[in-house]
Amino acid sequence: MEEVFRQSELKDIAEKVYNGERLTREDGIKLYQSNDLLAIGRLANYVREKKNGNRAYFIVNRHINHTNICENRCQLCAFGRDADDPKAYVLSLDEIEEKARSCRSEKISEIHIVGGLHPDLKLDYYLEMLRRVRKALPDVIIQSFTAVEVDYLARLHNLRVEDVLKALMDAGLDSLPGGGAEIFAPRVRKIICDKKISGERWLEVHKTAHRLGMRTNATMLYGHVETIEERIDHMLALREAQDETGGFLTFIPLAFHPQNTQLESMNISRTTGFDDLKTYAVSRLMLDNIDHIKAYWVLTGPKLAQVSLSFGVDDLDGTVVEENIAHDAGADTDQYMPKKKLIKMIKAAGRQPVERDTMYNVLGEVF
C-alpha cells in the first residue's frame, strides 16, 4: 500500500483495492463522499494500469443521427423534436448511404448510428439502412441503435426483442452503443425521461444482445437529479449483469448538459471537474468486471478528458465527426477531433496511444 493511504479515511478501501477485493455499495458511497480527489485518482489509476497498462485507446469513428423526431421527448434531451417542429428531420436511406460513403477515405473503423423513436420508421427502414451501410463500408463495425430504439422496434412490430436483434444482426449490426441507460432508478427516470423504458428493460435488451453474441457498451448520465446512492446502484446493476453475461465492453459516464432541455428550468448546474473525475475513478473502482472506462471528450472537454487518463480512464472515444446530441444541449466543445490531436493529447499525458476498433482489437499503436 502506498504511504499516503496509511493515514487516509480511505485506508480500508485502499487495502481492498490492492488486494483485488470487490468494493461494496457502502465503499462506493464513501469514495464519492470523500474530497481526497488525488487519493481516489491514485486508487483508480492502480486498477486502470493493472487492466490496461499504459495504453490509452481511441477510435476513428463517425456518428450519424438518422432522425431527431422522437415520441419519448425525454426531459433530459435537447435533441428530440416533435414531427411538426420546423427543425425536425429524417434522413432518407440515400442520404445515410451517402454519409457512409463519404467517410470511405477517412479510414474509420466504426460507424455509430442512433436516433429518435420515430413512429413511421419501421423495421424495414433500419434493416435497409444497415444493408446499405454495410455495403458502403464492408470492413467497418456498425455500432448502432440504443436499447431504447431496439425495444421500440420490438413493440412497434409486436416482436420479441430477441427477434428484432437477430434481424438487425443479419442485416449487418455488430454492436449496441450504451445510450439510454441514464440512471436506472425509477424515481429518477420519472423526472428525467418518464416515457423511456425502465432500467430493467434496458438491462434485459443488453443481456439478450450478449446472449446472441454481441458485445455492447453501457452509459450513465449523471449530474441532474440523481443521488450518489442512485449512481452507485446504477453501477452495481451493471456489475451484476456483467457477472451474468460478460458482454459489456466499456462503461461511459456522461456528464449531463442542461441547456435547451426541459430540465433547464430546474436550475441544474453543470457538473464540476471534481465530480467528473470522481465519477470516472469511482466507476473504475466499482466496475471490476468491465475492462474499459471511457471519457467522452465531447461532454467533458478535451483538457479534463486528458487529465482523466490518470483517474481511471483508458479510452478517449474518438474523432466523432458531426456530434449533434450534446451540442444541442449546449456543449461548447468542437464537433470533431482530428486523430493527430487525439494522439498528441494522449502522448502529452504520458500514455501510449492505441487506435482500436469497437471490440478493442488493436489497429495501430506506433504513432
Partner 1 sequence: MAADFEYIINKAVNGERLNLEEGVALLSCPDLTLLGQAANIVKNKMHPEKIVTFVIDRNINYTNICQCQCKFCAFYRKKDDSDAYVISEDVLYKKIEETLSVGGTTVMIQGGLHPDLGLNYYLNMLRSIKERYNIHIHSFSPPEIVHMAENSGLPVKEVLKQLKDAGLDSLPGGGAEILVDRVRKKISPNKIGWEQWMEVMKCAHSLGMKSTATMMFGHVETLEERVMHMIRVRDLQDETGGFTAFIPWSYQPKNTELGGETATGVDYLKTLAVSRLILDNVPNIQASWVTQGAKMGQVALVFGANDFGSTMLEENVVRAAGVTNRVPLEEIIRCIKDAGYIPAQRTPLYQIIKYFE
* Alpha carbon separation from 264 to 157, 255, 260, 300 (Å, rounded): 35, 14, 6, 19
According to the binding rule CB under 8 A, does residue 42 interact with partner 1? yes
Cα 296 from Cα 221, distance rounded (Å) = 12
Cα 151 from Cα 269, distance rounded (Å) = 32
The residue among 241 and 309 lying less far from partner 1, judged by its C-beta, is 309
Residues 6+ apart with CB under 8 A from 219: 178, 179, 180, 181, 182, 251, 252, 253, 254
According to the binding rule CB under 8 A, does residue 276 interact with partner 1? yes
Alpha helical stretches, state H, 3-92: 11-18, 25-33, 37-52
Cα 125 from Cα 108, distance rounded (Å) = 24
According to the binding rule CB under 8 A, does residue 90 interact with partner 1? no
Residues touching partner 1: how many (CB under 8 A)?
33
* Alpha carbon separation from 173 to 39, 206, 342, 346 (Å, rounded): 41, 14, 27, 30
| Of residues 167-206, those binding partner 1 (CB under 8 A) | none
Nearest distance from C-beta of residue 224 to partner 1, angstroms: 16
Nearest distance from C-beta of residue 118 to partner 1, angstroms: 35
Nearest distance from C-beta of residue 22 to partner 1, angstroms: 23
Q: Residue 47: helix, strand or coil by DSSP? A: helix
Helix (H) or strand (E) holding 254: strand 248-255
According to the binding rule CB under 8 A, does residue 7 interact with partner 1? no
According to the binding rule CB under 8 A, does residue 45 interact with partner 1? yes
Nearest distance from C-beta of residue 356 to partner 1, angstroms: 21
Nearest distance from C-beta of residue 201 to partner 1, angstroms: 34
Indicate the angle between helix axes 25-33 and 228-245, nearest 10 degrees.
140
According to the binding rule CB under 8 A, does residue 4 interact with partner 1? yes
| Of residues 324-363, those binding partner 1 (CB under 8 A) | 341, 344-345, 348-350
Neighbouring C-beta atoms of residue 251, cutoff 10 Å: 26
| Of residues 241-270, those binding partner 1 (CB under 8 A) | 269
Nearest distance from C-beta of residue 316 to partner 1, angstroms: 12
| Of residues 284-323, those binding partner 1 (CB under 8 A) | 300-307, 309-311
The residue among 119 and 350 lying less far from partner 1, judged by its C-beta, is 350
Per-residue binding string, partner 1, 116-135, x by CB under 8 A, is: --------------------
According to the binding rule CB under 8 A, does residue 275 interact with partner 1? yes
The residue among 41 and 172 lying less far from partner 1, judged by its C-beta, is 41
* Alpha carbon separation from 61 to 140, 142, 164, 242, 339 (Å, rounded): 9, 10, 25, 26, 10
Cα 181 from Cα 201, distance rounded (Å) = 10
The residue among 183 and 345 lying less far from partner 1, judged by its C-beta, is 345
Q: Are 76 and 193 in contact (CB under 8 A)?
A: yes
244, three cell numbers: 451474468
Nearest distance from C-beta of residue 41 to partner 1, angstroms: 5
Cα 123 from Cα 295, distance rounded (Å) = 32
Nearest distance from C-beta of residue 252 to partner 1, angstroms: 18
The residue among 204 and 264 lying less far from partner 1, judged by its C-beta, is 264
Nearest distance from C-beta of residue 54 to partner 1, angstroms: 9
Which of 187, 274, 322, 361 is close enough to bind partner 1 by CB under 8 A? Answer: 274
Q: What is the separation, in whole angstroms, between the first and last Cα of the chain?
A: 34
Helix (H) or strand (E) holding 66: none
Interacting residue ranges for partner 1, rule: CB under 8 A: 4, 35, 37-39, 41-42, 45, 269, 271-277, 300-307, 309-311, 341, 344-345, 348-350
